[in-house]
């Protein structure tokens, strides 16, 4: 049997996949062992938090505190998607600290990248998203550009193409509009 991206995701694997501008590394946001494995692989501090990448807003609801987002801010937030803008929103009480880091918020984005949309729709949840590189190195822009040190530790590579954006997503506070990364 050939392992699929869905199989890898559901079994706690780490996947590399195309996003809007670069390749991402991700896993099931509800699998604590997979989250630990991802942070260890990236040599990334758990305090920093991670991004959730989804096909639609409903997939983000189990992780965010939607009641703390005023209707006008939610409409503005939704109007910024899909693609290119990661928004920081209040997290809900069940959102694991490995996702949110030291913050009471979580970073989320809706994408139109077809491979990611297909995966998220197949598992009906978002995928964790962090750039496909070791901490301090430049992120890979293609699957062929993935570091050999990473490839050896991945469970699956989605060999698609990014959406061709030239910069990683802008990160903003969905409620205040403050930019954290331009």
> Domain holding 168: CATH number?
3.90.870.10
Whether the CB-CB separation of 167 and 21 falls below 8 Å is answered with yes
Per the listing, tokens 């501090």 go with 45
- pLDDT tens-digit map of 33-89: 999 999 999 888 889 999 999 999 999 999 999 999 999 999 999 999 998 899 999
The DSSP output letter for 137 is: S
Domain count along the chain: 1
- pLDDT tens-digit map of 149-176: 888 999 999 999 999 888 878 889 999 9
Whether the CB-CB separation of 106 and 53 falls below 8 Å is answered with no
Question: In terms of Cα–Cα distance, which of 4, 28, 1, 50 is closest to 159?
Answer: 4
- Tell me the whole-structure pTM to 2 decimals: 0.92
Q: List the structure tokens of 75.
A: 């409409």
Domain of 92? 5-181
**Which pLDDT does position 86 carry in this prediction?**
94
Whether the CB-CB separation of 145 and 23 falls below 8 Å is answered with yes
- Average pLDDT over all residues of the chain: 92
Question: In terms of Cα–Cα distance, which of 135, 159, 116, 114 is closest to 9?
Answer: 116
């Amino acid at each position: 049997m050939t392992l699929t991206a869905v199989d890898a995701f559901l079994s706690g694997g780490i996947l590399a996949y195309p996003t809007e501008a670069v390749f991402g590394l991700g896993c099931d946001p509800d699998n604590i062992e997979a989250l630990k494995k991802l942070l260890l692989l990236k040599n990334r501090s758990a305090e920093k938090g991670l991004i959730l990448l989804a096909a639609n807003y409903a997939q983000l609801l189990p992780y965010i505190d939607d009641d703390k987002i005023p209707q006008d801010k939610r409409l503005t937030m939704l109007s910024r998607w899909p693609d290119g803008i990661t928004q920081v929103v209040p997290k809900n009480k069940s959102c694991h600290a490995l996702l949110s880091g030291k913050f009471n918020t979580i970073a989320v984005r809706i994408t139109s990248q077809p491979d990611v949309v297909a995966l998220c729709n197949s598992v009906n949840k978002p995928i964790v998203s962090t750039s496909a590189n070791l901490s301090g190195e430049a992120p890979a822009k293609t699957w062929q550009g993935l570091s050999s040190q990473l490839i050896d530790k991945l469970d699956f590579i989605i060999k698609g193409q990014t959406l061709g954006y030239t910069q990683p997503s802008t990160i903003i506070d969905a409620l205040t509009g403050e930019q954290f990364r331009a």
